[in-house]
Structure 1
């Protein structure tokens, strides 16, 4: 029986699918950061309008 040849090219990370389920989600922190960005944007718009 033939053994597989080890001369195959290495598997690149960009060619493998992303495992998005492995990364934990931080829903509360993401919402707080989004809300803070929205408030900051509104404050900048109000200050630029004066």
Structure 2
């Protein structure tokens, strides 16, 4: 996961990009989705898509 900083996103915002590869295991992906779910419960995340 990489953070997207200005000028990729406006100065008053923060973004991150997730890139999965064949080297990521199912456990890696499960851990990521669990973490994102917990974060979404704590912070207002907006999904772009």
TM range (shorter): 0.3 to 0.5
Q: What TM-score do the two structures reach when normalised by structure 2?
A: 0.39
Higher relative contact order (CA 8 A, sep 6+): 2
Q: Which has the larger radius of gyration?
A: 1
